[in-house]
């Protein structure tokens, strides 16, 4: 019942914010041609692969830029392996895209994934396939026991300042302590963290 109510709520929020997402997407598209939305395979509950929705905030040839960067810069390659992202990412499509990422607006299209049942509001973040495959079997199985979330426990703390190993600790702790009260706390703290733009 709660899951159904969450999906209905997310659908209503999605309808309200879609004009903003489209406007930002068009602004980015003017300077950096490409699709407004970006879809990428991620690992979900029970290891099922689904395509996550995001507002496109990177250049159209982002995959090639990343491959070239990681091939020629050992420090960046190590950072990507440890954190799953880059702090100073050359793929970002301008200042509007950077602001959208800092405010996590680029993540809001994942409300579509919640409506379709692939995700929920709070849970471990769905990992890119290469990161999911880098986890040990036990950690991967623990994460895959629940639906991935739009936000999670690690995001209300250090956010991108933690590495993959630390993220696993927060995910395991969340799954062990999972409750409605904890979910409400994480949702409220997420709003606070996004407003303050900490951990970015």
Q: What is the pLDDT of residue 200?
A: 45
Residue 161 lies in a domain: yes
Radius of gyration of the chain (CA): 17
Q: Are 156 and 190 a contacting pair, CB within 8 Å?
A: yes
Residue 80 lies in a domain: no
Q: What is the pLDDT of residue 142?
A: 92
Q: What is the pLDDT of residue 199?
A: 47
Residue 122 lies in a domain: yes
How many folded domains does the chain comprise? 1
Q: What is the pLDDT of residue 51?
A: 97
Q: What is the mean pLDDT of each run of 10 residues along the chain (200 residues)?
A: 88 96 95 92 95 93 78 75 72 90 92 96 91 89 94 75 79 92 92 69
Residue 126 lies in a domain: yes
Q: What is the pLDDT of residue 89?
A: 79
Residue 7 lies in a domain: yes
Residue 73 lies in a domain: no
Global confidence as pTM: 0.85
Residue 66 lies in a domain: no
Q: What is the pLDDT of residue 146?
A: 94
- Residue 46's domain spans which residues? 2-19+39-57+98-196
Residue 26 lies in a domain: no
């Amino acid at each position: 019942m709660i899951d159904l109510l969450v999906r209905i709520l997310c659908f209503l929020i999605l309808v309200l914010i879609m004009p903003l997402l489209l406007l930002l997407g068009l602004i980015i598209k003017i300077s950096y041609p490409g699709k407004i939305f970006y879809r990428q395979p991620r690992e979900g509950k029970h290891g099922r692969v689904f395509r996550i929705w995001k507002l496109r905030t990177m250049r159209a040839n982002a995959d090639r830029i990343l491959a070239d960067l990681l091939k020629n810069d050992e420090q960046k390659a190590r950072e990507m392996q440890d954190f799953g992202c880059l702090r100073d990412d050359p793929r970002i499509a301008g200042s509007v895209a950077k602001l959208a990422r800092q405010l996590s607006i680029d993540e809001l299209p994942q409300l579509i994934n919640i409506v379709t049942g692939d995700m929920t509001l709070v849970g471990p973040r769905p990992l890119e396939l290469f990161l999911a495959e880098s986890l040990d079997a036990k950690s991967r199985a623990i994460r895959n026991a629940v639906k991935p979330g739009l936000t999670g426990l690690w995001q209300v703390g250090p956010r991108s300042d933690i590495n993959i190993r630390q993220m696993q600790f927060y995910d395991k702790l969340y799954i062990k302590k999972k409750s409605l009260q904890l979910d409400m706390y994480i949702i409220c703290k997420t709003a606070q963290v996004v407003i303050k733009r900490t951990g970015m």
